Amino acid sequence: MPEATETRTEKGISLARGPALILGTILLAAGLYFLYKQHFFPKFSNFPNGKAPVEGKVFGIFGANGWTGMLTAVAGGLLLFGAAQHLLAKTMSLIVGVALAAAAIIALVSGDVLGLAAANGWTELAWGVAAAILLFNTVIPRRRTTVATGYAGGVGRGQGSAVGPAAGGGAAGAAEQDRGADRGAHADEYPDTRRDVERSRDPGAADSEDEGVSRDPEP
């Protein structure tokens, strides 16, 4: 019966950062191009009940002025800033999505955004689509990975290195004892080699024996 293993869950790839990065790049580039093509800014005195008529179109379809480009570019910049981390990407997606949805609804009702940003039907549609994608992006989870850490009730990953050397030392000692036993059996079988075996086990005794032999007087 296989033993159960202990596992832990690790954070994986963030699925919310991709949409924030892509949409942020598009909105920032579009907003800067709006500012370049239509750089007329209505006065602040128009806020909030004034009128901001569409005086020019970008790409031939999007009604815009300077404030339209500014709003779009700032939205894109916030999304790019939030794309660095998962939670930050979801937070910025929520903030920018709500802002673009509000701008699209206000422009649809009054014809402009608070008397400052000009917008026509295509601009409102683009803001609405971007807002829907961003609001959906706020509920996208992060992928998670399950990693095995060791056997339940046994030695885990952190304990393996602590017991490994001791186990290795015991195995080495047992092997040395087996080799000693083999040498002893070989010496019993061949008496001529017994002295060599005893010398290998006790070098001091062998040295004293050699010294005693060298001190014997000559006949």
Over residues 91-113, mean pLDDT:
95
What number of residues does the chain have? 219
Q: Does a structural domain hold residue 197?
A: yes
Tell me what pLDDT residue 156 has.
Answer: 47
φ/ψ (deg, to 5) at 218: -75, 145
pLDDT at residue 217 is higher than 60: no
Separation between Cα atoms, residue 209 and residue 217, nearest integer Å: 15
Residue 56 has φ and ψ, to the nearest 5°, of -160, 160
The strand pairing partners of 62, in sequence order, are: 58
Is 92 a member of any domain? yes
How far is the C-alpha of 125 from the C-alpha of 148, rounded, in Å? 49
* Average pLDDT score, the chain: 78
60 and 127 inside one domain: yes
Q: Are 140 and 32 part of one and the same domain? A: yes
Q: What is the pLDDT of residue 199?
A: 60
pLDDT for 53-64, tens place per residue? 888 899 999 999
Please give the tally of structural domains in the chain.
Answer: 2
**Do residues 128 and 188 share a domain?**
no
Select from 124, 144, 164 the last residue of a domain: 144
Answer whether residue 45 shows pLDDT above 90. Answer: no
Count the neighbouring beta carbons within 10 Å of the beta carbon of residue 57: 16
| pLDDT at residue 204 greater than cutoff 60 | no
Report which of 148, 145, 147, 146 is spatially closest to residue 4, judged by C-alpha positions.
148
Least confident among 66-70, 117-121, 198-202: 198-202
Question: So what's the pLDDT on residue 121?
Answer: 94
pLDDT of 96 reads: 97
Are 74 and 113 in contact by the 8 Å Cβ rule? The answer is: no
Residue 117 counted as domain residue: yes
C-alpha atoms less than 13 angstroms from C-alpha of 11 in its C-beta half-sphere: 7
Average pLDDT estimate for 200-217: 49
Beta strands in the chain (DSSP E): 5-14, 57-58, 62-63, 112-113, 117-118, 142-151
**Does a structural domain hold residue 46?**
yes
Q: Is the domain of 103 the same as that of 60?
A: yes
> What percentage of the chain reaches a pLDDT higher than 90?
47
Residue 171 lies in a domain: no
Q: pLDDT for 108-150, tens place per residue?
A: 999 999 999 999 999 999 999 999 999 999 998 887 777 777 6
5 falls within a domain: no
The answer, yes or no, to whether residue 79 has pLDDT greater than 60, is yes
The domain in which residue 20 lies consists of: 13-144
Residue 105 lies in a domain: yes
